Structure 1
Amino acid sequence: MSRMLAANICLIAAGSLSISTFTWAGDAHGSVHIEPLVNDTITALMEEHRIPGMAVALSVNGRQHYFNYGIADQEADVPVTADTLFELGSVSKVFTAALAAYFDASGDLSLSDPASHYLPALEESAFDDISLLELGTYTAGGLPLQFPDNVKNETDMLSYYRQWEPDFPPGSHRLYSNPSIGLLGYLTAQRLGQPFEALMKNHLFSPLDLDHSFFQVPHQQQANYAFGYSKEDEPIRVNPGVLDAEAYGMKSTAADVLTFVDAHMHGSAPDDTLREALEITRRGYFNMGGMAQGLGWERYAYPVSIEQLRAGNSLEMVLEANAAERLQPPLPASQNIWFNKTGSTNGFGAYLAFIPSQQLGIVMLANRNYPNQARIAAAHHILTVLAEAP
């Protein structure tokens, strides 16, 4: 681990479940002891949903706590450690959003520009009237959750976009979509004339010291790359796909993802442009009732009930087009907000949430795709207990 570890390290055996718990100095928040709160919540979650391994990272008043549970590779009996890499799935989208916002803040592009402005192949298509911001907020007019099966390469992708016709006026409905925010990442790279992965490394990963975040896991890190597990307990990893890096392709450690969360909560990015970019992503651009859509992030006024979070992360919200109210001006990147993002691949499930006003954040990475509602309930319980501690 790259940060100095304080003197609280314990190894616990709970039945067949191996738990490695790493925390920084100071284990109590008010009258609540963090370690038993997290252990009790996460071990119950893992047992209920047959999750082989999890890494949980918690930020509490500027201090970081890391908890590692179970197995990263069942066949080789490799435990989850601080170095274990998990697939982030759609959590990747908040990084893509931050990269696009970085170049908006630097003046290299404008999120209000039409998408076709950045790619001649999209001129005289529906994307003449769809902005980069609408791509990043899933409000382009009904781009689907996934590409059709016949879209297998970049040529197919561009042909698909040219022929696509929106079902709704841009900005009127939100439909969660990989091709939508994926195109935002693609156009950002086109604008800068560099590969998306290189831009991400140079402008996000390196400045924030995210040294264990990858799109293609390098050879020297393969031993740390967890296997995901299907419903049938078969080992599985994500397959390459069109715009996979931009929409769902990151692999990372819980510590790196928490560093990204802390940069949002504490304004600790190393330069003004990156700090502004992260703020841009946290603004509220469209309202869907109890949830406001940021750029990548989803926002809820805090305090937020578990029922509100469940509704905002429901299958209806993910799979159906929902009427959206454009917010002009956008809601500010307020402190008294619950920000969250889920992410899944066939073998992995991730969730992150943070509340700047409470100085609380959590990252939960698992090598099984288990229900979003269960992730949300566990995180809400942990953060609520900590926030309400006297």
Structure 2
Amino acid sequence: MNYQPKYLVSALLLLSGSCMAATDMRQVVDSNVKPLMQQQDIPGLSVAVINQGKVQYFNYGVAAKDTQAAVSQNTLFEIGSVSKTFTATLGGYAQAIDKLRLSDKASLYLPSLVGSAFDRISLLQLATYTAGGLPLQFPQASDSATTMLGYFQHWKPTYAAGEQRLYSNPSIGLFGYLTAQSLGQPFNVAMEKTLLPKLGLTNTYVSVRTDKASQYAQGYDKQQKPVHVSPGALDSEAYGLKTTSQDLARYVIANMHPQTLEQPMQQAIAATHAGYYTVNGMTQGLGWERYPYPITLQALIDGNSTPMAMEPHKVTWLNPPQAQPANVLYNKTGSTGGFGAYVAYVPSKDMGVVILANKNYPNAERVKVAHAILSAMDQ
């Protein structure tokens, strides 16, 4: 697939050295998104471009083929694993108000895990996918609210805790579940009634309200069949949020300007931005994944590649955890059966991008579009 013409647009804008006007950004986004939607057969897509505290929205296509409802910045999309950054922020908040410590062993927060492998696995290791080999997904027989605790009670690590990163929904999902236990609330309540309001997000949900159903985009699978995310064990904690490009833009701004939030939320965001270990050029935060900035397109593609998600990688811990450096890029991809999401931002440049689509498509293609947009802004 040849993206050279699109990146030429970005390069010309970079060389111009002038402030980017709205018409220039429209040209950059259009020239990246329109070919992508055609090539990947994406019905609808919403982009939010954040630059110096201002947000521009670029919306394309339809939220649902049957109604032909146009996508807008208020269209609700499933964001898949971008949800993990919210789960991580909730954990950081619980730590900030002294309800948990990331260094605590997991079984401390759930009596039914006492005597299991989780006597020796910390909350931090769960949150950073280093518990010892928890898989990407639950085995089918354990993928329900009634069977998942039995799975954890009998699970045996493949590696010593803290040695290997293996990206895992059960791992960070259990972290979210235990965080909610520490707060004395069900996870969905803690997310919707505590965290999201503190972030100023008014159109983000674990369960989409009935009065918002008409804003909920229809997802489409590879065969263009309609699909929404299926229920599963720890789905809310690992991949369950639905939100809009407008709310995600607010979320990015909150991450880049946490001083606008109350003190515990500032501490929560600092915890998610800290670097806990490095692997293959990526520094693992809580939920967020961090890279030195500026970054090449290929390095960002590699960091969001299938091997990074599917294979174990030996990690090098940072002791103590490294606070946010001066020039870094944070990002996270997310997918469900019918949706694809990507968020990336550079705090030192006060710029970011959100890309939401109602079809799952390759991470590399999301990264290419975001990198071109960020490059065009960074003049």
Normalising by structure 1, what TM-score?
Answer: 0.90
- Shift in Å, 1:51: 0.7
Deviates more, 1:207-216 or 1:367-376: 207-216
Cα deviations across residues 107-145 of structure 1 (Å, max 9, x unaligned)? 111011000010111111111111101111101111000
Whole-Å separation in 1 of the counterparts to 2:143 and 2:271: 32
- Number of the residue aligned with 2:214: 223
- Number of the residue aligned with 1:274: 265
Whole-Å separation in 2 of the counterparts to 1:214 and 1:59: 22
- Number of the residue aligned with 2:277: 286
Map 1:240-279; keep pairs closer than 5 Å.
240-279=231-270
- Number of the residue aligned with 1:56: 47
**Residue among 292, 295, 299 paired with 1:304:** 295
- Number of the residue aligned with 1:3: none
Whole-Å separation in 2 of the counterparts to 1:124 and 1:162: 8
User: In the alignment, does 2:64 pair up with 1:76?
Assistant: no
Whole-Å separation in 1 of the counterparts to 2:28 and 2:247: 22
Letter in 2 for 1:159: G
Cα deviations across residues 135-172 of structure 1 (Å, max 9, x unaligned)? 11101111000000001433311111011111111111
The runs of 5 or more residues in structure 1 that have no matched partner are: 1-27
- Shift in Å, 1:29: 7.2
Secondary structure class of the residue paired with 2:66:
coil
Whole-Å separation in 1 of the counterparts to 2:20 and 2:302: 31
Whole-Å separation in 2 of the counterparts to 1:195 and 1:369: 29
Secondary structure class of the residue paired with 2:140:
coil
- Shift in Å, 1:84: 0.6
Does the aligned pair in 1 maintain the 2:131–2:157 contact within 8 Å?
Answer: yes
The runs of 5 or more residues in structure 2 that have no matched partner are: 1-16
- Number of the residue aligned with 2:6: none
Letter in 2 for 1:180: S
Q: Which has the higher helix share?
A: 2
Could you say if the C-alpha distance between residues 251 and 175 of structure 1 is closer, same or farther in structure 2, counting changes exceeding 3 Å?
A: same
Whole-Å separation in 1 of the counterparts to 2:165 and 2:18: 38
Letter in 2 for 1:302: Y
- Shift in Å, 1:357: 1.0
Cα deviations across residues 8-64 of structure 1 (Å, max 9, x unaligned)? xxxxxxxxxxxxxxxxxxxx9724622221122111211111111011111101111
Does the aligned pair in 2 maintain the 1:91–1:341 contact within 8 Å?
Answer: yes
Does the aligned pair in 1 maintain the 2:113–2:119 contact within 8 Å?
Answer: yes
Cα deviations across residues 148-198 of structure 1 (Å, max 9, x unaligned)? 000143331111101111111111110000000000010011122211111
Does the aligned pair in 2 maintain the 1:207–1:269 contact within 8 Å?
Answer: no
Does the aligned pair in 1 maintain the 2:37–2:43 contact within 8 Å?
Answer: yes
- Number of the residue aligned with 1:129: 120
- Number of the residue aligned with 1:44: 35
Normalising by structure 2, what TM-score?
Answer: 0.93
- Number of the residue aligned with 2:19: 30
Q: Which has the higher strand share?
A: 1
- Number of the residue aligned with 1:6: none
- Shift in Å, 1:209: 2.1
Could you say if the C-alpha distance between residues 374 and 29 of structure 1 is closer, same or farther in structure 2, counting changes exceeding 3 Å?
A: farther
User: In the alignment, does 2:137 pair up with 1:113?
Assistant: no
User: In the alignment, does 2:193 pair up with 1:202?
Assistant: yes
Cα deviations across residues 190-209 of structure 1 (Å, max 9, x unaligned)? 12221111111232211222
RMSD: 1.3
Letter in 2 for 1:344: S
Deviates more, 1:174-183 or 1:145-154: 145-154
Whole-Å separation in 1 of the counterparts to 2:187 and 2:20: 46
Could you say if the C-alpha distance between residues 230 and 154 of structure 1 is closer, same or farther in structure 2, counting changes exceeding 3 Å?
A: closer
Whole-Å separation in 2 of the counterparts to 1:30 and 1:160: 55
Does the aligned pair in 1 maintain the 2:258–2:265 contact within 8 Å?
Answer: no
- Shift in Å, 1:78: 1.1
Does the aligned pair in 1 maintain the 2:205–2:242 contact within 8 Å?
Answer: yes
Whole-Å separation in 2 of the counterparts to 1:180 and 1:97: 12
Could you say if the C-alpha distance between residues 183 and 76 of structure 1 is closer, same or farther in structure 2, counting changes exceeding 3 Å?
A: same
User: In the alignment, does 2:186 pair up with 1:190?
Assistant: no
Does the aligned pair in 2 maintain the 1:286–1:327 contact within 8 Å?
Answer: yes
Segments of 4+ in structure 1 off by > 6 A? none
Does the aligned pair in 1 maintain the 2:274–2:322 contact within 8 Å?
Answer: yes
User: In the alignment, does 2:134 pair up with 1:143?
Assistant: yes
**Residue among 142, 147, 154 paired with 1:156:** 147
* Overall identity of the aligned pairs, in %: 47
